[in-house]
Every structure is written in C-alpha cells, then in structure tokens.
Structure 1
Amino acid sequence: MGAHESTRHAEPGSERRPRSDAGTGERSPSERQERKKKVLTQGTSSMAQSIADAIVLKQGGVFLVTEQGGAIPLRGEHGFGLYYHDCRFLNGYTVELDGVRPEVLASTAEADHAGVFRLANPRILMREGHIMSEHDVGLRWERVIDADATAVHENITVHNYARSAVDLEVKLTFRAEFEDVYAVRGLMPEALGKHHAPAASDEELRFSYDGADGLQRAVTIRWGCRPDAIDGTSALFRVRLPPGHSQPISLVISLSESSGGTPADRPAPSCSGADVAAAKRRGEERLAAQVQERAHVETDSLLVNRVLARSFADLLLLRTPLDHDTFFAAGVPWFTALFGRDSLITALEVLPYQQTVAVDTLRLLARFQARERDPWRDEQPGKILHELRVGELARVGEIPETPYYGSVDTTALFLILMARHAAWTGRLDVFHELRENVDAALGWLSSPEAHPEINGYLAYDSTSKSGLVNQGWKDSGDGIVDEEGQIAEPPIALVEVQAYVYLAKSELSDLFERAGEAETAARLRREAADLKERFDRDFWLPERGVYALALVAGGHRAAVCSSNAGHALWAGIADPSRARTCAERLLSESMYSGWGIRTLAADEKAYNPMSYHRGTVWPHDNALIAAGLRRYGLDREARTVFGGIVRAAMHYRMYRLPELFCGFPRAEHGAPVRYPVACHPQAWAAGAVPYMLASLLGLEPEGFERRLRVVRPILPRLVRRATVRGLAVADGRVDLEFRKRRGDAVEVDVLRVEGDVDVVVEER
C-alpha cells in the first residue's frame, strides 16, 4: 500500500500512519505454522475477571461496562470501563463510604443509555469510634450517557435512613490509562504514547494521553459541587445529614479527542441533577423515534414477550453511527465496531421488522469494499471487510483492521442482504445505487486468482502476518478441526461458505432479471445449480448423516459433525433427500444440549463445551439453523430449537441472550453455563429470537409483486397467540394475528392492510 493511500479508509478528518512493518506484510509458510500454533482466538482474552454479570450502558459510540454496583475495579486485569473509539478511557472508578465499598442492593439498566444503582452501607466502624449499622445510609447512583456531548452525566444521592444524624465521607476514585481495546483484551502490547500526570482542582480532575497516532485523548471529571478535598485521583465529599435527609453529588465525565496538541474545542457539559434528567429525556426521545421505525410483536407468553422486548432493546443499543449511516455494532465490549459478518447477519435477522439499518449497512460496507490487493490486510478487489477499527493501534498501523478483510463469507452475505432487502421492499434502487459494488463482489466470488480454491470451492488461507488463521464465522485459531481432533490445515473450504455463495447467486439472479439483464441472471442460476450438484457429492458424509465441516488442504474432508452443516439448510443448498437425516443428527443428544445446538458434537475428539467454537451454543447459529429447518418443512425440529434458546434466555439478566454459552447438557445443570468473557449485548444474538419467530410465522415477502406470503405458519409451544403490527412489505404495512386452533394448526387473521399489498396465507 502506497503512502498516498494511507488515509483511504480512515475516519473523516483523521490521518492514519503506515503500518510499522517495512515489508510486504505477507506471511511465509513457516510464519503461518507459527501463527497456527499460537491459536489466536477471536473473542477470548487474557482477562482474569468475568464480565458475565456486567451492566452495560451505551449510546452512539460511547459505552460503559461496570460491575453490578456501577463500579469499575481499580486493580487487576478486567474488561470493565468507559470506552469510545476503540479506546478504554476510564479503567477504574469506585465509590467508598468512610473507606468502605458499599453493598449492592439493585441495579437497573432497562434503557440503553441510562441506569440506576441502589447501594447501602455495610456495618462500618466510624473514625469517631462508634459503629454505623448496616443499611443506615442508602445511595441512589444514577448515570446517563450523552453521546452528543461524548459524556456521562451522574448524580449520586446519599440518603440517611437512620434515626440519628450521620457524618461520613464519600470518596470517588478514578483511573484512566487510555488503552486500545486490543491491549485490554491482552492481544497487543501496552499503549504506545505518553501519559500525563493527572491534573486536579476543586473544579475538575483531568487525565490526558498523547497517543502515538497524533491524537490527544482526555477524560475530564467536573463536579457539580466542590469536593471537600482532593487526594491524588480521589475526590472527597463530606456528607452531614439529619435523619431522613438527602444530599446529591453531581458530576459529569467528558471524553475528548484532539489533534496537533490542541485541546478539543467543545463546550464543557454542565453537571447537576437537572442535567442528568435532561440527558435521560433526550435519550428516551431518540429511542422512541427509533422504535417507531419497526414492526411490533406481542404474544400471550410473558416469557417470549420479555425475550423479544430485550432483544429489540439490545438491537437499538447496538445501533452505532458512522458518518451519516448506522450499523449494528457486533457486541459489547470487545466488538463495538463495524464487522462485516456480524452487521450483515444482524441486519438479515431484523429485516422482517425493520429495513433502514440494512440499507445503511450495505452502503457502509460498499464504501469500504476492497479495491486492491494488500496481503497485510488480506485484501483483494471486490471483497467485503471483516472488521474496521479506529483506535490508536489501528491508526499507527500496528494492526491491519483499517479495515481488515479476513472473512471468506462476508462478500456473499453482502449480496444476500442486498437481495433479501429488495424482496421486502420491492425496489431495485439500492441494487442500482450499489451496482458497481455488486459486480465487484460477484467478481471476487468467481475469481480463482483472487482467493484459494479447493476442487472449485471458495476457500481461504490468510497470508497476513497479523491476520486470522480461520476466516469463517468460527474464526478462532482452533475453531476448524478434523475428525482426529487436529486443527485443520489451510486452505479450507467451509461448508457454510459454499451455501452462502449458492444463496447469493440464486437470489441475485432475480434482481438481474428484473433489471432487464436476462443473460446475467441465467448465468448466475447455472452457476448456482452446478454448485448445488457438486456440493452434495463432495460434502455429504453418509456414515455420519451430516455435511462435512469443510474441505481442507489436499481436498480432504474435515469429517466432523458441526453446526455449520445447518447453514446448508438455511441457504437451501442441501438436497431435500438429506434434510431430515441432517436435522436428526443436529438434534441428536451429542449435538443438542437442551438449550441449543452445539457448535461441535460431543462425540467428536476436539469437543470442549467451554471452547469458543468447539462445543458451545451460539444463539445466532441456532437461529439460522431453525430457519433452515423450516425451509425444508421440519417444523417440529425448528420449534424445538426456538424453545431451547428462549428457555436459555430466561436464565440471563433482563432476558438478554449473550454471544454464546457453554455446551454442557441441560440435564446436568438447571441453567446454561456462562461463557465468562462473552459479549452481551451482542448483535446477532439479540436478533436471533425475533428472526426465529418470523421464520416460525412463515413470513415470506414478495415485495415486487406487492404480496406477503404466510407459509405454513406455526407457533412456539409456549405461545397460543401472536400479533405482528406494522409489518412493512413494498409500500404497504400489514397487521396480522396468529392463533392456535386444534393441535398445532394456526389460524391467521389479517387485522389491517395499509397501502397496496396483498396477504396470502398458505396453510399445510
């Protein structure tokens, strides 16, 4: 990459330095082997402390991850903190009462941007020698994220519930080290720039850092009322309260970035209880406007309703702006960034309810589509990105995510979302707008010069020194294995990638036909049909009753039973004669934990129920498989998958499905076993239950015909009635009600039709 191209993918107004290595960035065969041995695992880290019970607040690009009581530990390696632009600005923040941490009573974070924590004093030996009984003093700690001001407003109200006056010290202590998210995860060295000594006064406490990327980052804490003392990075407030009285402590935490050594020219937000309320109100208004954009679902099951409500709330939380578009950030805290695969699959899951983010996602990914060959970033022309980072390590070129293109499946998923969006909207405008990007993506899929192939199948083999060893959705270094339990040797042609290519070409052919390009449409159909025929011959494992995980170096099959095979059902590439056998294997005891389908069968040699990709359960994986089961008429099996995932959600705080959970059998544990550093909320996990429900209801759009087909609708076992309001098809909207009759039969009532759209119900 030439120097003149160094800012091509940088944020507007920023500059990104060339990467630090002076060579090509290409990985030699010996380096590939060494990289493979290290088993770099996407999504795991060296964190010693679990974030499974973390409280998450987010608005726009600012997010906060805390312990249950609202604090950020001052010591130890952990993932808690206040983050912005791939940097953890604040990595410590505690509250103490007379030198003692208060007890946590409750924490609420129902809204994405606001939370309330209830704390109380433990039994305290006061400095005067007397003992304060437990729970004499209560704290109500309210915080609101204001993304427009890049700030967090806070109000800590201290209340005396004792029958006598109290006199105590409230101590707020902060720590800021400005770590890049890769350093937080333990994947890269510590920060490269210069930390300045904290500057404290009775008006504010300021931390600042001069990054190696030329940006000065700062955290400024301003007090609503002056502290009684400042001790290093602690502010001390003396609280004297008669019985039944309260005292507020207000503050605002501001984040800033500036270049050229000049402090950011931004007015300081004020801090008071009124400012907290105003910031909260603005956030609620923003949320209300976004809620109006989507269809609404309600059932007669309290559990399903709560899981759906949490899912949609998390999807709103994860909507993140980039320039004038928004996308679903992959997950908090590790992947709050634009990820091609995650953002695309989440947009696909949400399409039945909301189509706006899909358009934004397509435009963003088209803007960053690869235009040249760069081994450092696994970039080839036409490829859709894997990951875009904007932090210090990316800006100085220490990591290739600027963006990085090491995904073998995102390009096909980009085309699938394009086609599915058109099917719902009945319009070709996005297809025409991004036509050059569509052609480039198809060119990459069909070019053996652009990527490795095995027997004509799309494969991968990263050459980047810092790239991912595995480049499908199971992108951990040990995620793809063979029947002997050994890590598979690249190049690797994954089963689901071939399925995605088939689906992309099949569905795009219709758009080309409608655009008057019959020859291109016919060619794509021929290529899809040829792929389907070869696929069944080369991937089916008759002795195991499932499709192979992959073809690997030398054309050998990775003859293991994995969840990847279920994606072949989702895409429709599976031969109908294989579908039931494949489904039986996926729902067998070795694959189905009782909570969901495992990523790898328990009878495989590489199985580990605690491994990121070799035995855990991923909600989005199950959602795609459930939709695939429905495609082949396997309704009972699809409903089983839905039920398992919903029951799992019941055991998580606020019914929030995490990125993944461990694959231990349900019979052994009364609740799913948590994966300690899983992202939550996580985008495609949040989209899983809404997507599965739409699939069970049989919603199949034919927007160009201004028609919605409701095909073989079924309801989950927990549900006898479901209502969908505001379902957008073409230029119309539809309200539907689904009711169980005898047995599993479902009756569909069309409650309302707005605009020119027809509803056709196709029962069994």
Structure 2
Amino acid sequence: MQPRSQAARSQQKARQTPHAQQERRHRVLAKGHPAMVDSIAGAITVKNLDLYYIVAPDAQIPVKGEHGFGLYFHDCRFLGGYEMTLGGLPPIVLASTAQRGYAALFELANPDLHCDGGQLIPKDELGIRWERILDAEQTCVREVLTIQNFGHEPHGFPLALHFGAGFEDIFNVRGLVPKNLGRCERPTWRDGSLHFVYHGADHVRRTATIGFLPAPDAMHRTAAEFRFDLAPGEKRTIAITIELRELSEEPEAEQMSQHPAFALEAFAGTVQADTEKWLEQHTKFDSDSLLLNSIMDRSLRDLAVLRSDLGNREYFAAGVPWYVALFGRDSLIVALEMLAFQPEIAAQTLRLLAGYQGRRTDRWREEQPGKILHELRVGELARAGNVPHARFYCTVDATPLFLLLLGRYAAWTGDVGLFRELREPVEKALGWIAKAGDGHGEGYVKYRTISESGLVNQGWKDSADAIVRTDGSIARPPIALVEVQGYVFAAKHAIADLYERIGERNSAIQLRGEAEKLRTRFNRDFWCEDLDTFALALEARGRPVAVVSSNPGHALWTGIADRGKGRRTVRRLMQDDMFNGWGVRTLASAERRYNPVGYHLGTVWPHDNALLAAGCRRYGEDGAALRIFTAIVEAAMHFRHHRLPEAMAGFQRNDFQVPVHYPVACHPQAWAAGAVPFLVTTCLGLEPDAFANKLRIVRPRLPDFVSRIELRGLRVGEASADLEFMRRADGAEVNIQKTSGQLSVEVGG
C-alpha cells in the first residue's frame, strides 16, 4: 500500500487548526527526549521481527494513563491496555523475565482475597504462571495462564482480563503528535472473541482480535471474566491468542482468521531454534570472566531479537520500543560494531540503504540526491503523509557512515564484489558529501534544517538542545559536527582503497588527497587549545562551539586528529567532569547546560564510549580504553540480564554506587548491544586485511577483570582462526590455536 497523494496530504493539513499544526511541528522538530511518557526503565521487553511487547514487571499494561507499554506492530500500538485482576485486585509479582528475547515468563501470586461471601483466600496461596510468546509469522501473541491452588482448602474466585486498544501511532505514544487521525469502532464480542477495529487515515483497517480457550464465563464490554473453583493442588489453564491484522479498506480484503489451538512448547522450540541457528553463525566468545561471558551472550541475543527484515534483507532495528525501524545511522554503526562477529548483516544493510538512497530534492523529507536514509516508518501518520518519516533523510552522518561501513566490511571479508555492485550508490554518496552544506568552500559537511518537520540537529545527538555554546545558548546553523568530519575523512580513505583494488588509481589518489586536505583544515579549525580538545562543532560563520563533549572521541576513532592533539583529547575526556565512573559523559559536568538526565547533555551512552575507546587505542592511550571497557562492563552488571541500555544518567558513580537509569531509554537497543563486542574487537587489537589473507593483532590488551579471552571461528575473508589471549603484565600473549584456509596471523606490539 502506497502513501497518500500530495493532494490528500494537503487536505489533511487543511483540516488542522493553525495551533494544532504549530504544536505538532514543535513536538516533532524540537524533541528533547525519545518520548514524553512515564518511565519504562523496568519494563519487560519481547520482540520477534516487527512484533514487540512492552509490559510492566507484573505483566500488566495499564488500561489508563500516558505510558509506553503496549503491544506494537508496524509503528502502531495495537493494544495499549491489558490488566488482570483476581477478585477485583491486581496480582503480586514474584518474578519476571524475558531472557529468551521473543518470550516472557511471569510468576504471580494473589493478595489477600475475600471472595464467595467473604471467605478469605490467604496471600500467596494461588500461583499464577503467565507465559507469552510472539509469533511474528502469524502476527499474533500466544499466551498461557496457569493458575494453581497451593493451599489446603478449596478456593473459588473470579479472574478478569481487561483490555484497551487505541491503535496509536508510535508518534502519538511518544507524545510528539497530539492524537490519532482515524476512527475506532466500538469493541464487540463475536463467537467468544473480543474484536477491536480501527479505520486509519492511511486507508488501512487495523484489527486486534483476542480469543480464549476455554471461552470466558462472562463477557463485558472490554473484559473477559473466568470463574475458578480449585481443589487443593488443582491447576487450570487459559490459552489466549491476540491476533493483529492490517487490511485494505477494499471490500474484497482478506478476512481475519479464527484462532487455532496451539502447543506453546512446540512453537517456542521453533523460535528458539531460529535464534540459535543465527547465533551459531557468529564468532564464538569465551573468557574466564562469568560476568563478561554473560554480557556478551546477552548482547548477541539482544541483537538476534533486534533483527528485522525489509524486502528480504535483514538489518538491526535501532531499539525497543521507540525505534523499531530502519535507521541509517544506527543500523550502520551496529553493523560496524559487529564486523568481527557477524559480517553478513553489514552487506544486507548496505544493499537495503542503497535501495532507499535519495534520488531527488524533497524539502518535506529532506531528501537530496545521493543522501542516505535517516529513518523509515510504516505507521499511519507516515503513510498518511502527516509526518515525513515514510522516507526521512534528516541526517548528516548516515551517508559517510554508509561508505565507511562498506570499506570496513571489505577489509574483513575481502569482498570487492559488493563495492562493484554498489558503485553507483557510492559515487552518488560521494557527490552528496561534496555539496553537503558547504556553500563557502571550507570543505566541511554541514547541516541546516529545511523541512518544517525536520530535526534541528542531524548528528547522532539529534535532540534540539544537544549542540550548545559555553553560555548555554543553542548553536546557530549551518553546523559542522566534529565527528562527521572524521567520518568523511575515514570514508574517503576506505573508498580510495577499494578504487585501488579495482585498478582505478586516479580516483583513489583524488579521494586520499581530499581526505588529507580535510585533515589539515580540521586540525586547524576545530582545535581548542584552551580546552585541550576539539570543539563540539563549528556553527554559523565558522565559529567553534567550544564546549567539552564526547563527540571528539568519534573523530579520534576515525584517525583524523593529529597525534599530539589526539592524545591530549583522550586525557581531557578522561577527567572527572567527563568520566563519571560508568563511562564518559556526552557533555562535561562543568558546562553550563550539563544535565545528568539530559538526553544528550550529560548522559553516558555505551556505544559512544565504545567508539571513544577505539579512538583511545588508535592514539596509543590503551589505559584509557581499558578503563572505559571496565566501566561499561561494571555498569552492565547492574542492569536486568546484564543488558546495556541505550543510555545511563550521568550522575557520579561515587554518589549512588550503581548506574542511574535513564527513564525512557530503549532496551534492548542495537548499538548499545554492539558496544561490548566492539570493545572486545578494539582492545584485542584485531585489524583484518582479507585481501592479503592476513590478520594483524596490534598491541592486544585485556582489562584487569579478565585473564583469558578465547575467540573461535573468527573469520577473515574465506579463512578463520581460533585464538586465545592471556593477560600479562606488559600486555597480552596470543596463542594461535588453529587456522583454516589461507590466513596468516601477525602479532605486533
């Protein structure tokens, strides 16, 4: 189904009051947070491809109130309320987990209940086991409730399930757009199933059908009630299926199917087998640290959960719940982080983004020829044209990152065929970089918002208040971010190497020359001598945004900094106002706009730190890299299942001794999940050259909390290696246990 026409969009806008249009524009344009809802820090998250569930630790989705919990599919919250009551009271949560990623398990118990004329059912005598599994193939949730009487007396009581379905678009849920555009039908009961129907402004009818086995004893407007009479030790089960559908409004559209009975265990085994098969393709990791092993396992399983597909091509969705979509920057960075463990998804991501590369100039979408996509949404508001996110290009860094990933992928795989295949998108991307915001010939890639619904800031720190001056005011566009110039520098060198591989030496020489000229200008214009680091950005008229931020760490990763300036930058970023004990903050606590819970104004992001650690290693500051590695691992120890969130609050470690949750952080989140695998790659010094059938191991280092790391099946080109790293006082000893294929492994200091 295609988005509505331009005329239909104009009619829709005309129906909105000027105030509503202004409010919508303000919310989308100036978002300071990923969402304007209550905290979801303790949420239980399950996902299977594009279907995902966010619930409170007691398995509930509040029927009322503004929150982010719900059952989502294709950028729509189909189910926004789902509560259980026993005799009118909520159950007590004992334990909850989503360890497997696609399934959740909850153990609940009863509070003191007075049922059947006042008879007391003492607290904890009723056990309730609630299993939920997502079936992406059938777009449904399969659940089993098992209720058991652990008491010595028979117990009779009612159990009710209450539902609410608002079919809110993800932008509605996040509080960025005020209300839905479509129309909900009244909920109805038919054949023992509860039906919710929504007619969207995008001419799509969305439905949620909830079936029960056995049928409820009583059916209310949006609630199912069951009557239980359990003998001592007796147990009973209820099977629940929640089926979601998106249907054309055309009369001949496919009808909703009935809910079949199912075997939960058999289905769970099928999904588990798929996950294990995907994990089996990875480089195998083991160490003598149980904590590091657990974090690595969690990271890889989270990435298995975050897999999504589009046009039969797989990519990593950015994060649950707000960013379950293709994001240029995020999907590219996590593919970069994972090259040593699973390079295949990088090729699929590159092909997918090449297919959506900008072809024309469209101010509404900020599309320009050669530009790589920022975000692709498939929900009602995007399809109806109310927001530009059906294909949104409001990013300045995805294009150079696209080129950089292609070069790094080739270094790991020796595959020049992908470069040949994507030759046209590569040259269009280079053409966009040559023109991007550089109206005065300085040679910097800059941004300035041109869409009425665009992002004020277009780097990875894309909240409206992220790029600030020393006095706290907002920097003026056009803005040239420090890290983006580094991405361009590294991208040009990477693509130059590929041109040389196919015999086009003149193109290689030209790109390398452009990169080196950029390096010279960069070190002159971005360096702030009094700060001992590079500026966050250059704003209008080339004025430095001279605050201390984490962004220069990305520039160090790319190698654009002069060696002396790079080392001074590392030392500055590791001072106490930046390094809070769990990692490096996004903005120094000494800066005027520092806020420990500001989305990009003082929080600590795992992926940001992983790239910074790589920058430390590049400039010989191994101690700083290991300090960051240790801090991130110790932070992960305090999160459920050792899962690193999108971001942590920036409070000093000594204040609370545990990392403080960022209230609406995504978890799982892709580039956070890729952070520790990338830190392992970085600190072990893995530098592939698949074209030469060679793996260089440069200055391998292990942090103090681990003495042995083993990698099995590490692939370089068509070959692979099994390696063991043992920590020593002066570095690490490398034991080459096995190689297959033509591969030489060189270890250097």
| CA displacement 1:155-184 (0-9 Å, x = unmatched) | 000000000111111111111010000000
CA contact (8 A) 1:202 1:227 kept: no
Report matched runs for 1:513-552 at 5 Å.
513-552=500-539
Partner residue in 2 for 1:114? 103
Instruction: Report the AA paired with residue 655 of structure 1.
Output: H
Partner residue in 2 for 1:4? none
For the pair 1:252 / 2:241, whether they are aligned, the reply is: yes
Partner residue in 1 for 2:165? 176
Instruction: Check 1:331–1:42 CA distance in 2 against 1; reply closer, same or farther (3 A cut).
Output: farther
Instruction: Report the AA paired with residue 280 of structure 2.
Output: Q
What's the CA shift for 1:16?
3.8
Report matched runs for 1:305-344 at 5 Å.
305-344=293-332
Partner residue in 2 for 1:7? none
Counterpart-to-counterpart distance in 1, 2:307 and 2:140:
18
CA contact (8 A) 1:337 1:387 kept: yes
Instruction: Check 1:638–1:632 CA distance in 2 against 1; reply closer, same or farther (3 A cut).
Output: same
Partner residue in 2 for 1:508? 495
User: Which of 415, 440, 443 in structure 1 is aligned with 2:403?
Assistant: 415
Partner residue in 1 for 2:18? none
CA contact (8 A) 2:28 2:453 kept: no
Partner residue in 2 for 1:90? 79
What's the CA shift for 1:453?
5.9
Counterpart-to-counterpart distance in 1, 2:168 and 2:13:
28
More displaced 10-residue stretch of structure 1: 234-243 or 149-158: 234-243
Instruction: Report the AA paired with residue 474 of structure 2.
Output: I
Counterpart-to-counterpart distance in 2, 1:79 and 1:696:
37
User: Which of 426, 435, 454 in structure 1 is aligned with 2:423?
Assistant: 435
Counterpart-to-counterpart distance in 1, 2:693 and 2:155:
70
CA contact (8 A) 1:164 1:242 kept: yes
Instruction: Check 1:666–1:342 CA distance in 2 against 1; reply closer, same or farther (3 A cut).
Output: same
* Partner-residue secondary structure (3-state), 2:613: helix
Instruction: Check 1:382–1:23 CA distance in 2 against 1; reply closer, same or farther (3 A cut).
Output: farther
Partner residue in 1 for 2:254? 264
Partner residue in 2 for 1:650? 637
Counterpart-to-counterpart distance in 2, 1:33 and 1:542:
42
Partner residue in 1 for 2:551? 564
What's the CA shift for 1:356?
1.3
Aligned length: 741
Instruction: Check 1:750–1:267 CA distance in 2 against 1; reply closer, same or farther (3 A cut).
Output: farther
CA contact (8 A) 1:489 1:552 kept: yes
What's the CA shift for 1:41?
2.0
Instruction: Check 1:692–1:409 CA distance in 2 against 1; reply closer, same or farther (3 A cut).
Output: same
Instruction: Check 1:721–1:455 CA distance in 2 against 1; reply closer, same or farther (3 A cut).
Output: same
Partner residue in 2 for 1:576? 563
Counterpart-to-counterpart distance in 2, 1:115 and 1:23:
40
* Partner-residue secondary structure (3-state), 1:206: strand
Partner residue in 2 for 1:46? 36
What's the CA shift for 1:459?
0.6
What's the CA shift for 1:359?
0.8
User: Which of 672, 679, 685 in structure 1 is aligned with 2:672?
Assistant: 685
* Partner-residue secondary structure (3-state), 1:20: helix
What's the CA shift for 1:201?
3.5
What's the CA shift for 1:203?
2.1
Query: Structure 2: 5+ residue runs without aligned partners?
Result: 15-20
For the pair 1:144 / 2:133, whether they are aligned, the reply is: yes
Instruction: Check 1:184–1:415 CA distance in 2 against 1; reply closer, same or farther (3 A cut).
Output: same
Partner residue in 1 for 2:280? 292
| CA displacement 1:641-690 (0-9 Å, x = unmatched) | 11111111111111111110110110111111111111111100000011
User: Which of 631, 634, 658 in structure 1 is aligned with 2:621?
Assistant: 634
What's the CA shift for 1:451?
5.9
* Partner-residue secondary structure (3-state), 1:408: coil
Counterpart-to-counterpart distance in 1, 2:25 and 2:59:
39
Counterpart-to-counterpart distance in 1, 2:592 and 2:27:
18
What's the CA shift for 1:14?
3.9
Report matched runs for 1:661-700 at 5 Å.
661-700=648-687
Instruction: Check 1:529–1:22 CA distance in 2 against 1; reply closer, same or farther (3 A cut).
Output: farther
Partner residue in 1 for 2:603? 616
Partner residue in 1 for 2:444? 457
For the pair 1:746 / 2:732, whether they are aligned, the reply is: yes
* Partner-residue secondary structure (3-state), 1:125: strand
TM-score, L = length of structure 1: 0.95
Identity %: 48
Counterpart-to-counterpart distance in 1, 2:248 and 2:13:
29
For the pair 1:237 / 2:226, whether they are aligned, the reply is: yes
* Partner-residue secondary structure (3-state), 1:477: coil
Counterpart-to-counterpart distance in 1, 2:41 and 2:632:
18
Counterpart-to-counterpart distance in 1, 2:130 and 2:403:
46
What's the CA shift for 1:553?
0.8
CA contact (8 A) 1:153 1:279 kept: no
| CA displacement 1:484-511 (0-9 Å, x = unmatched) | 1111111100000100000000111100
TM-score, L = length of structure 2: 0.97
